[in-house]
Amino acid sequence: MSPGEPSEPTERSDSASPVEDESTLVSRQPDGEPLLEPTVEHEGLPDVGSKIGKYELLEKLGSGGMSVVYKAKDLALDRLVAIKLLLPQKNSKQIDSMRFQQEARAASRLEHPNIVKVHDFNVTDDGVPYLVMSYLEGIPLSEEIKKSGGLEPGLWLSIMVQACDALSHAHAHGVVHRDIKPSNFVLCTEKGNQVLKLVDFGIAKIESNEDQALTKTGEIFGSPLYMSPEQCAGSKEVDSRSDVYSLGCVMYEALAGRPPFSGENALATIVKHLNEKPVSLVFVRKDVKSIDAADKIVMKCLEKKPEDRYPDTLSVRKELESAFLRREFKRKKRGYKPLILTAMAIILLPVGISWYQQYQKQAVVQQKKQQYEESIRLCRSGRKHIRESDFDKGLNDLSRSLVLATAAGAPNIYLAYLNAALGNVELRKRNMASGRTYYLKVINLALPPNDRRTVELRYEAYVQLGNDAKYHRHENKEAIPYYKKALINARLLDKTRFIITMLLELNMLSDAIGDKDAAEAYMKEIESYPKRLGDVADAIEDFKQRQTVYTYTERMKKQVDRIQAERALERQKKLERNEKDEAREKESDHKADLRTEQLKKEWGKTILE
């Protein structure tokens, strides 16, 4: 099967295509026989045997409402690939083209054994975009579930652990899949082992400002049988916990042989996701020993509120491993068990558990190390973009850096630094609410005491929060506590300039709210710095500059509008003057022409006489 092939129906609220049915997924068994034949036909598609760039199209695998998938050969590297081509009629719609490009960006970010690999993204000679991926030989998980009626416990556990690994990697790189379902997992065989591959990032969300242009509140993305309640409600606040819910639906179906919710139509199914609880697996798979262990994990994934679920798929993986190590989850077996096998299992089990725990521990440590290193790289890249005044790219890199640092369990001092940097950029972009949120995170983090970096970060956070309250929201009483805490940190830093600046702010605010005693006390303290007048002068200059910047920020737009109006009026007057001058010139030329004709006539008469 090729990755990213059209799978089960996926609902989208695009006005041009409310429901896009891409159910013509084609997969291949080892003998090469297709499980499903393509049924959707479209006009304007390239023919089998033709070439797209360096790729020769060998076979059409499937097509749907958005795209068509071909089996192709990379002529340069002599290998088989899968090419996903946006339908020509969809390429004319900007939103569909942008979403196809976002799929390419989302998939290209990821490099993991359990995620299909993206090799290339380009456009045809006709301007139609296409995505080149690895060609997978395997069958979709949906077919395996349908064939077995419910997976064996051992296979179920192995598949779900791999699914958690794939999604954890995607989430760590800021990608939310939003369309997790059995048909988007492919079971392949690599070196004798069964490997799960996650495919089709067609409606994936990249956690940055880019996705906001493609997603509006009220739009519904996903497959109704596997959509989270927040997806069903059309919320824009869809994060990795939505994928946890969808994974819970897949886990349930893989054991039960049917999804947890299924209505007469898509709307009925959505209502069930929002309001009903699924039937416990205890009543569905009575043949599995201690099914309640699996049921507990699945039901927590299927909680209606995101905060009641597992925070991420890494936590789901740990719970699955824990159940496996306790030997709670296996098929019930009847009959005689030889004592020698039981004795061997008792002897070897502690060794196997110890080795497995050590292996998993090393794998987690290595993954966190890679995430931390990538976070530092993105942080440096973001700072470079900001120095070059490219705030959008800087904000994007810093946001991704914060996500990776959080996933890696980075020290709080580093998280505080990233939050402060993001808050500073948001304020410079005039996104006051976002900047305030980041700075509140800085002061709420548990930072190492008696550390100068802690004091500097908190001083910056309190100053910016005070400035926001005073100069933007005009809440003087709310600003005073922030400035007082900033003053405490300024004293710890022993920087006279900072101290005087905060004292001036507090003096001004106290006077504004009528607290004359406090204002006088702050002024007396300012006057107690006679021996360091240079610092005092610098602080006063900073204060004046701050007053100038923030006090006149609201007036600047009016001034700009007034200047633009004056310039427009001046241009209009100039245009009118030019028109009058042109009219006068034409009149003057006309008079000159008349005078010339008159002179010619008089000269002719003179000659005749």
- For the annotated catalytic residues, the residue numbers are 179
Rounded to the nearest 5 percent, the helix, strand and coil shares of the chain are 60, 10, 30
Closest CA to 206 of 173, 164, 230: 173
Q: From CA 248, how far away is CA 293, in angstroms rounded?
A: 14
CB 522 within 8 A of CB 503: yes
DSSP 330-378: EE---S---HHHHHHHHHHHHHHHHHHHHHHHHHHHHHHHHHHHHHHHH
DSSP state of 28: B
Burial of 412 (0-12, 13-18, 19+ CB in 10 A): middle
CB 171 within 8 A of CB 240: yes
Q: From CA 341, how far away is CA 344, in angstroms rounded?
A: 5
User: How many C-beta atoms surround the C-beta of residue 331 within 10 A?
Assistant: 12
| Alpha helices (H) in 79-152, listed in sequence order | 88-91, 94-108, 141-148
| Distance in Å from the first CA to the final CA of the chain | 108
Q: From CA 574, how far away is CA 261, in angstroms rounded?
A: 72
The secondary element (H helix, E strand) that includes residue 241 is: helix 240-256
Q: Which two tokens stand for residue 437?
A: 């949120």
CB 4 within 8 A of CB 200: yes
The SS3 call for residue 140 is: strand
The SS3 call for residue 109 is: coil
Say how many CA atoms lie within 13 Å of 29 toward its Cβ: 7
User: Which residues fall within 8 angstroms of residue 588, CB to CB, at 6 or more apart?
Assistant: none
Q: Which two tokens stand for residue 359?
A: 């292996």
- Characterize the bridge pairing of strands 129-134 and 118-123: antiparallel
Q: For residue 440, how far is the Cα from the chain centroid?
A: 22
Q: For residue 557, how far is the Cα from the chain centroid?
A: 33
